[in-house]
Copies of this chain bind each other. A is one copy, B any other.
């Protein structure tokens, strides 16, 4: 994510705060910036570790609370898959994920062919669909190398 995109998102965040009368704290701005700056999908704890460098007193609690707030504002997304703790994703436009079932890495996939699935087909359930994403489960390149070396049983 470029500096400009991050700045744009920060401004969006500021106006959202003002619109809702929410205080614009250092912590909130730093935590949002941290998530946006990372191309990967950090856990709350990873965010905490990064932001703590700039704000030494920062507590884990605050990170959890701010991340929740940001998710509520629609500025970031929360992900969760088996065997790992929750992760946060600053990319909010439609995209998809490769999920390594070995190391739990999450890799973004952008593919316009996957972005136009026919949603009407699922309407019969009375479900109101806000968004969707495709999860690809498998083994990432790194783990593949390791396992061929080791000759997994």
Q: Please give the residue numbers on chain A whose beta carbons come within 8 Å of chain B beta carbons, in ascending order.
A: 71, 78-84, 86, 98, 100-101, 107, 109, 111, 113-114, 117-119, 121-122, 125-141, 144
Residues of the B chain whose Cβ atoms lie less than 8 Å from the Cβ of A100: 127
Kindly provide the distance from the CB of A137 to the nearest chain B CB, expressed in whole angstroms: 5
Residues of the B chain whose Cβ atoms lie less than 8 Å from the Cβ of A136: 119, 122, 127, 129, 131-132
A130 to B139 CA separation, bound complex (whole angstroms): 8
- Copies of this chain in the oligomer: 2
Residues of the B chain whose Cβ atoms lie less than 8 Å from the Cβ of A80: 80-84
Contact of A117 among B98, B114, B119, B121 (CB under 8 A): B114
Can you name 28 A-B residue pairings with CB atoms under 8 Å?
Answer: A78-B82, A80-B81, A80-B82, A80-B84, A98-B127, A98-B129, A101-B130, A109-B125, A111-B122, A113-B121, A119-B136, A125-B140, A125-B141, A126-B140, A126-B144, A127-B139, A127-B140, A127-B141, A128-B138, A128-B144, A129-B136, A129-B137, A130-B137, A131-B137, A131-B138, A132-B134, A132-B137, A133-B135
